[in-house]
A and B are shown apart, each in its own frame.
Chain A
């Protein structure tokens, strides 16, 4: 068992310069960082000294690197994936199998949750964006928001049905719906997104009309108290669903 090493305010002020220069032991660095994170005292002088250490390289005359270094660097990064993209583009595990959807016999939004209908397979399945055809050299800039949301997701649920497949991704206190290649709509139709509680009460949380490429909609509510997510096709935004769902995800499975 190790004992956590702590320092007081005065000691921190004493060794801040050494810390800024990287000249303290690891346990002292840990203690300084914890202290600065949690201390009510501003430690303004210490923080200035720490920041001043970054000036030291500028006291040197610049040294011009050889002509080949830039080319070597650019060649390396062209083949080097970025950490956050590696996380977002990780392939889905084969264990994440989606169960076939069973359509309800009663009005679907009165059924409450349907955990057996569609499996919630968690983050690992949702980050399987490789299946969407996203490549490192493709449209990453436009899809960065989606990838970042996936990379930082707390939970993810697969929504599946006649319209295709999508994901509900929960990050902190917000949730987004993402889908790629949903079935096309007639010009007078839209997809309406719903959250239902366990008693079957449905609340509209957004609409979607553009089905080209990756669609991303931030839900108008968080997933708290929601048991089911669903998507219906409507001719306008409505207060309650008027058609059977074309996508469903169980959020409490």
Chain B
């Protein structure tokens, strides 16, 4: 467990026993990134701050569900922020069950020591450069999925491509971000398989 993650785990332990100052410290560490994420999704600063507020309150309330051995607190927090922000923009389409989504977040956020270790070495500039270097179609697909809350099938409809192609763009985009962190080569999958295309377009 790296130093940042250990520090976060200690914060989680303190929050678990009702230490409100520990939640304040968590806020001080991550409020900037959390607010940026929420703002990017919902578009309004006032609404973004409501999202951040609600997300930290959710972490406070649900901290006993968090297990530091299974994931990173930072990643869980950001996914909780993301869930709430997406819920707002999806309200016009289909709301999501936030309690269920937070539970899923625990699974989605870890554990992955390789990524967490890589995160301690990567600079924010590296990550932004990696995002900026994505081909337009991949970056657009990633933005539609992550920041606007569309499924890959909806991304396919919005961009006028088959579901398999939209999914492939997401995979390539995320693979490049992953590579920017840990320097491994992404292995593009073969999307020519007919049965797979059928499966993905369902």
Interface residues of A (CB under 8 A from B): 10-11, 13-25, 29, 33, 36, 45, 47-66, 69-70, 72-74, 76-78, 80-85, 136, 140-141, 144, 151
Contacts and interface: CB of A to CB of B under 8 A. Distances in A.
25 contacts: A11-B199, A14-B200, A17-B175, A20-B174, A21-B170, A22-B83, A22-B145, A23-B152, A25-B153, A47-B112, A49-B171, A54-B75, A59-B127, A60-B36, A60-B128, A61-B128, A62-B36, A65-B31, A65-B49, A69-B49, A70-B31, A73-B23, A73-B56, A74-B23, A77-B20
Contacts of A62: 32-33, 35-36
A18 B60 contact: no
Given A18-B170, A49-B174, A54 B200 contact: no
A11 B37 CA distance: 29
A74 B53 contact: no
Given A14-B200, A59-B131, A63-B36, A74 B24 contact: yes
Contact of A63 (B28, B35, B74, B170): B35
Contacts of A81: 61
A64 B127 CA distance: 19
A53 B142 CA distance: 10
A141 B152 contact: no
A96 to B, nearest CB: 25
A50 B104 CA distance: 12
Contacts of A33: 104, 107
Nearest to B147: A56
B145 to A, nearest CB: 4
A31 B141 CA distance: 23
A47 B134 CA distance: 21
B36 A57 contact: yes
Contact of B108 (A13, A14, A50, A66): A50
A66 B34 CA distance: 13
Contact of B167 (A18, A61, A69, A136): A18
A88 B48 CA distance: 33
Contacts of B115: 48, 51-52, 54-55
Contacts, number: 203
Nearest to A145: B17
Interface of B: 16-20, 23-24, 27-28, 31-37, 39-40, 45, 48-49, 52-53, 56-57, 60-65, 72, 74-75, 78-79, 81-83, 86, 104, 107-110, 112, 114-116, 119, 124, 127-128, 130-131, 142, 145-146, 149-153, 155, 167, 170-171, 173-175, 177-178, 181-182, 184, 187, 189, 196, 199-200
Contact of B130 (A59, A60, A65, A151): A59
B23 to A, nearest CB: 6
A7 to B, nearest CB: 8
A10 B152 contact: no
B189 A70 contact: no
Contact of A24 (B24, B75, B152): B152
A44 B10 CA distance: 28
A181 B56 CA distance: 37
A55 B174 CA distance: 9
A54 B114 CA distance: 13
Given A64-B32, A144-B16, A19 B61 contact: no
A16 B187 CA distance: 13
Given A25-B153, A48-B112, 5 more contacts: A17-B173, A23-B170, A48-B115, A60-B128, A74-B20
Contact of A14 (B24, B39, B40, B196): B196
Contacts of B109: 51, 54
A23 B150 contact: yes
Nearest to A44: B114
A146 to B, nearest CB: 12
Contacts of B151: 18, 23-25
B33 A60 contact: yes
B108 A64 contact: no
